[in-house]
Amino acid sequence: MGSATQSDQTDDPVTVLTFDLEGERYCVRADAVASVLGVADDRSIASADDPWNAGSVSVAGERVRVIDLPRAFTASSQTMTRIDDPKLLVFTATDADDAYYGWLVDDVDATQTVHLDRLEPTQTNTTLTHVKGRLELDGDDVIWLDEQTIHG
């Protein structure tokens, strides 16, 4: 397979899945997400010591390691309001123990097709390696997260 040029990469459309987290909109590549599930009881996840490894759940006989994104992305000094019906994004990637990765998020929106040339650098003072950049979708700023970096 030959290498693509920069213009080839930015002209190719990519489908992203948008979701909400603490009043902000985010997205990830849709092909990286295997499923979206409702979470009936997130108390054990919410009380885990480490939001980046907030326990695991079993889905269809498979283990899913949960990252509690609302807590992971909120400064420990801030008070966070939990929503009543969070969602779990289950990714196609697995960790070294063959557990799937799952992100707890507030709400999941629809998929949208975007062109990578619309991706802009984030407007932040710190370099966040898990952020690919930002897009404008439907008049809203959307932060594109790099799931591979978050999964380590």
* Enclosing H/E stretch for 91: strand 87-94
In a domain, 8, yes or no: no
- Would you state the structure tokens that stand for residue 69, as one six-digit string? 């994104």
List, run by run, the mean pLDDT of 10-residue segments along the chain (152 residues).
42 88 89 89 79 87 89 66 81 89 91 83 60 85 87 80
pLDDT at 8: 41
In a domain, 127, yes or no: yes
pLDDT at 129: 67
pLDDT at 32: 94
Number of structural domains (the chain) is 1
pLDDT at 34: 93
In a domain, 11, yes or no: no
Cβ–Cβ under 8 Å, residues 88 and 103: yes
Question: How far apart are alpha carbons 47 and 55 in whole angstroms?
Answer: 10
In a domain, 3, yes or no: no
- Would you state the structure tokens that stand for residue 146, as one six-digit string? 């790099």
In a domain, 6, yes or no: no
pLDDT at 4: 40
For 15, 18, 77, 107, 148, the CA distances from 65, given in Å and listed in that order, are 24, 21, 25, 19, 14
In a domain, 2, yes or no: no
* Residue carrying the six token digits 């008049």: 139
Q: Give me the CATH number covering residue 141.
A: 2.40.50.180
In a domain, 25, yes or no: yes
| Residue 65 belongs to domain spanning | 16-151
pLDDT at 2: 40
